[in-house]
Amino acid sequence: PPKYHHEMALKIIDAGKHILCEKPLANSVIEAENMFNAVKDKPIVNAMNFPLNYTSAYDKISKMLDSGELGVIMGMEIHGIFPNWPRLWQVNPWIDSKDQGGFTREVFTHFIQLVLHLFGPIEVLSSFPRYVDDEHSEISLIATGRVDGQYPILFNGLSGVGHQEDIKLKIYGTLGTVELVNWRDLYMTDSSKRTQIALEDLDASLRLIDALYVKIVGGTSKVVDFESGLETVEVVERLLK
């Protein structure tokens, strides 16, 4: 559970051990700042479990952005519809709690981190989370923001509705729109058609561990660190206020 990350991580850092932390980095911005400050000047590899960064879908999106295939970026959207929250396979004591759980922390966090990595800082301009009481997590979220000072972003989430689970990150460009659907399916849409993009079947978790190992032995690899984890927590907590 997120509320234990801070205490456990500080003990590991004090012991001089390398660390891989589950997302979100911590249960609050203050705790996340403490964790980042504790590790930033130490020779310790610090990493976050953000497996989307190690998928072939991420590789393809990154190449499309670098090549200009989408044209001028016009905006993006993070979208999540959940018929049940908690999801039936993930029922536990904290996943639906207001202070630790909810789909924004548990699911949107992954896509927020991806947007931060690909485009830059996210400024939350308006946010309207809806709660049924003071104990349970949000049942809906509508929010707007600005990415890297220029791109509009929309956050749209609903739970407890008669709809199949539907999770998307959409990046809109003047020449086309790329859409990551339900974690692993990638689509390209232009003004006339929507096409699924064939992707290599890669083990993202194994690629993450490989990258972490390379970093530990002194090599160069892509590791999502605590600084990125802190930036993500800052956005998530602003969305939920």
Percentage of the chain beyond pLDDT 70 is 100
Here the CATH number for the domain that contains residue 14 is 3.40.50.720
Reported as a single tens digit per residue, the pLDDT across 6-33 is 999 999 999 999 999 999 999 999 999 9
Same domain, 45 and 70: no
- What strand order describes the sheet that includes 151-159? 122-130, 140-147, 151-159, 73-82, 166-173, 177-181, 185-189, 194-197
Reported as a single tens digit per residue, the pLDDT across 197-240 is 999 999 999 999 999 999 999 999 999 999 999 999 999 999 99
Same domain, 11 and 108: no
Total of domains in the chain: 2
Residue 240 lies in a domain: no
| Contact (Cβ atoms closer than 8 angstroms) between residue 47 and residue 207 | no
Same domain, 71 and 188: yes
Same domain, 132 and 211: no
Structure tokens at 48: 């976050």
pLDDT at residue 123 in the model: 99
Same domain, 74 and 153: yes
pTM summary value: 0.97
pLDDT at residue 80 in the model: 99
Same domain, 90 and 180: yes
Same domain, 75 and 21: no
Reported as a single tens digit per residue, the pLDDT across 131-151 is 999 999 999 999 999 999 999
Quick one: average pLDDT of 43-65? 98
Same domain, 133 and 209: no
Helix (H, G, I), strand (E, B), or coil: what is residue 130?
A: strand
